[in-house]
A and B are shown apart, each in its own frame.
Chain A
Amino acid sequence: MGRFVRMSLLGVLIAAGLCLWAWLGYVAIDWAGSATFELGWGATLGQAAAAIVFLQLLFVMILATLLMVAERKWSAAIQDRIGPNRARLPGLSRFSLGGIPHVLADALKMISKEDFVPAKANRLLFQLAPVANLLPILCLFAIVPMGPPVPVRHAFGVLFASLQIANPDAGLLYLFAIASLAVYGVALAGWASGNKLALLGGVRAASQMVAYEVALGLGLVGMMMTTGTLRLDAMIQSQSAGLFGTSWFPAWGLFVQPVGFLLFFAAAFAETKRTPFDLPEGESEIIGYFLEYSGMKFGMFMMAEFVEIITLSGVVTAVFLGGWHLSPVLDDALASAAASLVAWRFAGPPDPGAAALTLAVFQAALFAVKVIVLCWLQLAIRWTFPRFRYDQVQALGWRFLLPLGLVNVFATGLCLLLDSSLGLLGALGLAEIALVVGATLWSSSRPAALPVAAAGGH
């Protein structure tokens, strides 16, 4: 009971913290945007700079470091262990604080370790590889819209503040372009280390990422066709409607494009190089492409992994989970709650600007919660499955995901031709979900195919 209360309190605190973060983000982005506009540099510059601080530094980096602890704690919970609880803050030595001080301890450890470069390594490329790995992955998050655009009235006009660093028209194409750059870091790390095992890891990583790049793209093509846009905020907007003419069933990408979701999630999971796709690491076989790295250089590889998890969660949330939308009914309820909160807080005439900002803050927090839930899902998968074999991963990518993606594109096109209101597509999607769930239940109800035959005595 006490634990339940503590956990509920923690949940409320996290939600409140996310709301505070979103509110500060909106205010800061608007302030910076108007400041640079008045300086004559354009509003985009200030908005993007403030968004980088609030999204990349505050959200992504903090969540990534917390995920490192969360992974250890969560895996411990799965495995009947306690997990890290030894590192304590000075003055708070009675509290383990959920292992969070281990973030500091790990960072200190990595910074203070010897920065080792093997004698046979290619010095320049060896030093460059961790950066080449982390940088594209950090850039990926730039197009993830964490909150809706909010109009703010200024003396010179109306500025739209949005929790998004950049909103190019190319949208998802930018995602594909940058995501495929990340392979250079890994391949370079494997090759430049001058180590046979690391080389094998680098080769594995390169071939795996090439194989899954195609499925990654095809998984999103269906959603591009359905929503008719490449921009993530427009995709989110088109998911706010109800499916089948109802107002309670959301037209999320998950429901109209379940195959696309599976494809993209599997392919993106493979890109993060975590179990079951951790062949480039394969710690029991080839130790991994980062075998020769120590200290913070290794830390950058690790950080890249966690940032990739968050980016993947952000993109999936935006494209498949309706972004900051629930179903239309719940959206309306949230909007009226925001309006009444504003009316209660600021007595006087209704202020549409404040109401819109409050709603946007709630919606940004909702987006963040969806991202965190997806991160949790990825941790749970990571700690449950064994890893594939090299040729099996290739077979899965080329022989299964690629044809499936092509079939999905054709099926989506056909459905849209016959019924452009998404009704037919939604029905197909629900049928596909039912099929997958049914097949899973059916196969798990069968007894295991053990070769064991009892040979009773001689």
Chain B
Amino acid sequence: MADPSAPPEAARLLAQDPLAAELPRRHMVMNLGPSHPAMHGVVRSRVELDGETIVRIDPEIGFLHRGFEKSCENVTWTQCLPFTDRLNYVSSILNNVGFSLAVEKLCGIDIPERAKYIRVIGGEVHRICDHLTMVGAMALELGAFTAFLYAIEARELLWDRIAEQTGARVTTSYTRIGGIERDLPDGFLVKLGETLTRVSELVEEIDKLLTRNRIFIDRTQNTGVISAEDAIDYGFTGPCLRACGVAYDVRKTHPYLVYDRFDFEVPVGGRGDNFDRYAMRMEEMRQSEKILRQAIAQIPAGPVILDDWRYVLPPKPAVYGTIEGLIAHFKIVMEGIQVPPGDAYAYTEAANGELGWYVVSNGSGRPYKLHVRAPGLPILSSLPHIIEGSLLADLIPTFDSINMIGGEVEQ
């Protein structure tokens, strides 16, 4: 009895012919990274290619793992701050602010108005820096070197302001529990306004070079697409989620600091592709500038840190001149801030999404446990889902637009 699924006679004969037999094929497996121009930080991607089509991609993180959470358990709460700088090293003030907010929530303290404004100013400047880096890197890796250098020029200008404000360009450690480390220098706000004008000129220049560039649009539109449902399932937040059409911005939905006093809009995309993720960044830079202009106009005078010696180092005259000051200084330096036992979760809108801080204290002066919800990790984990089946060349804008920052993903 003939098997109906057997091939017809001619095909069977053809299959026996060694000349007509299909050639053996196998996929090319390639390592991109850990040292590769498109792998930011040090990420290794094991890519399985069929021609130039990506069959499978396996991003491997961990080259930059520093044991952030464990390190924090061994130092006082204040000493955690320099570690937080090194999470998302492009926008460190946003990390500082998030960590401080979590600890302050646990302590139940409210910081002075001026400090809130200064935190917003530093944070928004760093948000612009982060977006500039992402936009510039994307342009660079698509071959538009010029747009990259415009972005870097703008970022340098902002970093100059950050350096004046905090004393450091990259690793700022600017906040303290209960306020910020130092007040703004003289004439800073005027200078910042001028810098912002120049930066927005450069941003518009980049916009002209890229946003309507046919090649750039072809490279980014409809590549690296993720649907809103998938994005939520993976845990997307920030610009990458908003590019899918979900208007979720912590600054709007759960305002912290003084964000409820500013008039700004949350840009939302539609397709969830690389171009939308790029456009989100461009628009958010404009909105951040809007926030900064309002903050510059509204910022009140006053202290920048609490006058509560349980949490804040006393001023030096008090340390040298009074016994109370000396003791408070000694206790904070030696034992650390006595955060009441309990746990707290605080979340802020960092440059790449929701930056969550879960802190647990047992009242010992050091964190008992500390966990960071880095926005980059869930986004990076969706990379195989986004990119498998598309071309190798699409990996580049996709990897750029999700803006994976090694420091925060690998901690």
Does A84 sit at the interface, judged by CB under 8 A?
no
Tell me whether B216 and A458 are in contact (CB under 8 A): no
Tell me whether B393 and A285 are in contact (CB under 8 A): yes
Chain B 144-166: CB-based contact to A (< 8 A → 1; otherwise 0): 11100110010000000000000
**B58-66, B207-215, B325-333 - the one binding chain A:** B207-215
Across-interface contacts of B296 in A (CB, < 8 A):
none
Tell me whether B146 and A457 are in contact (CB under 8 A): no
Does B319 sit at the interface, judged by CB under 8 A?
no
Total number of residue pairs linking A and B with CB closer than 8 Å:
117
- With A79-B150, A384-B209, A455-B266 in contact, is A284–B28 under 8 Å at CB? no
Tell me whether A284 and B141 are in contact (CB under 8 A): yes
Expressed in whole angstroms, the minimum distance between the Cβ of A187 and any Cβ of chain B is: 16
Across-interface contacts of A383 in B (CB, < 8 A):
145-146
Tell me whether A386 and B216 are in contact (CB under 8 A): yes
Tell me whether B265 and A456 are in contact (CB under 8 A): yes
Q: Select one of B37, B218, B266, B276 contacting A283, CB under 8 A.
A: B37
A451 to B139, CA, bound (A): 19
Across-interface contacts of A458 in B (CB, < 8 A):
247, 252-253
Does B392 sit at the interface, judged by CB under 8 A?
yes
**A160-168, A209-217, A389-397 - the one binding chain B:** A389-397
Q: Select one of A80, A275, A389, A443 contacting B219, CB under 8 A.
A: A389
- With A78-B146, A451-B270 in contact, is A200–B37 under 8 Å at CB? no
Q: Select one of A75, A385, A453, A456 contacting B213, CB under 8 A.
A: A385
Does A450 sit at the interface, judged by CB under 8 A?
yes
Tell me whether A455 and B146 are in contact (CB under 8 A): no
Tell me whether B145 and A455 are in contact (CB under 8 A): no
Across-interface contacts of B210 in A (CB, < 8 A):
386
Across-interface contacts of A88 in B (CB, < 8 A):
none
Question: Across the two chains, which residue of chain B brings its CB closest to A454?
Answer: B265
Interface residues of B in 326-352 (CB under 8 A from A): none
Across-interface contacts of A286 in B (CB, < 8 A):
392
Tell me whether B276 and A284 are in contact (CB under 8 A): no
A276 to B215, CA, bound (A): 8
Interface residues of B in 345-403 (CB under 8 A from A): 391-396
Does B269 sit at the interface, judged by CB under 8 A?
yes
Question: Across the two chains, which residue of chain B brings its CB closest to A450?
Answer: B279
A453 to B269, CA, bound (A): 7
Question: Across the two chains, which residue of chain B brings its CB closest to A457?
Answer: B252
- With A80-B153, A384-B209 in contact, is A451–B269 under 8 Å at CB? yes
Does B140 sit at the interface, judged by CB under 8 A?
yes
Across-interface contacts of B170 in A (CB, < 8 A):
none
Does B268 sit at the interface, judged by CB under 8 A?
yes
Expressed in whole angstroms, the minimum distance between the Cβ of A452 and any Cβ of chain B is: 4
- With A386-B216, A453-B268 in contact, is A75–B37 under 8 Å at CB? no
Does A196 sit at the interface, judged by CB under 8 A?
yes
Expressed in whole angstroms, the minimum distance between the Cβ of A387 and any Cβ of chain B is: 3
Expressed in whole angstroms, the minimum distance between the Cβ of B343 and any Cβ of chain A is: 27
- With A389-B218, A389-B391, A452-B279 in contact, is A79–B146 under 8 Å at CB? yes
Interface of A: prevailing SS: loop
Across-interface contacts of B395 in A (CB, < 8 A):
285
- With A386-B219, A455-B247 in contact, is A276–B394 under 8 Å at CB? no
Chain A 413-446: CB-based contact to B (< 8 A → 1; otherwise 0): 0000000000000000000000000000001100
Tell me whether A452 and B145 are in contact (CB under 8 A): no
Q: Select one of A285, A390, A453 contacting B267, CB under 8 A.
A: A453
Across-interface contacts of A386 in B (CB, < 8 A):
139, 142-144, 210, 213, 215-216, 219
Does A287 sit at the interface, judged by CB under 8 A?
yes
Tell me whether B279 and A79 are in contact (CB under 8 A): no
Tell me whether B270 and A276 are in contact (CB under 8 A): no
- With A79-B149, A450-B283, A458-B252 in contact, is A282–B270 under 8 Å at CB? no
Across-interface contacts of B149 in A (CB, < 8 A):
79-81
Question: Across the two chains, which residue of chain B brings its CB closest to A281?
Answer: B143
Does A184 sit at the interface, judged by CB under 8 A?
no
Across-interface contacts of B271 in A (CB, < 8 A):
451
Question: Across the two chains, which residue of chain A brings its CB closest to B253?
Answer: A458
A385 to B207, CA, bound (A): 13
Across-interface contacts of B142 in A (CB, < 8 A):
284, 386-387
A454 to B247, CA, bound (A): 9
A50 to B327, CA, bound (A): 92
A372 to B309, CA, bound (A): 72
Interface residues of A in 282-296 (CB under 8 A from B): 282-287
Q: CB within 8 Å of B: which residues of A?
A: 75, 78-81, 196-197, 200, 275-276, 278-279, 282-287, 383-392, 443-444, 448-458
- Counting from the closest, the 4 A-B pairs by CB-CB distance are A387-B143, A455-B247, A284-B141, A454-B265
Instruction: Identify 29 residue pairs between A and B in the complex whose beta-carbon atoms are under 8 Å apart, listed by A's number.
Output: A75-B146, A79-B145, A276-B143, A276-B215, A282-B143, A283-B37, A284-B38, A284-B142, A285-B141, A383-B145, A384-B146, A384-B209, A386-B139, A386-B143, A386-B210, A388-B218, A390-B52, A390-B391, A390-B393, A391-B391, A392-B218, A443-B212, A444-B212, A448-B211, A451-B279, A452-B267, A452-B279, A452-B280, A454-B265
Known: A287-B37, A392-B218. 11 other contacts (CB 8 A): A75-B145, A79-B146, A282-B393, A284-B396, A285-B393, A386-B144, A390-B393, A451-B279, A452-B268, A455-B267, A458-B247
Q: CB within 8 Å of A: which residues of B?
A: 28, 30, 37-38, 52, 139-146, 149-150, 153, 207, 209-213, 215-216, 218-219, 247, 252-253, 265-271, 275-276, 279-280, 282-283, 391-396
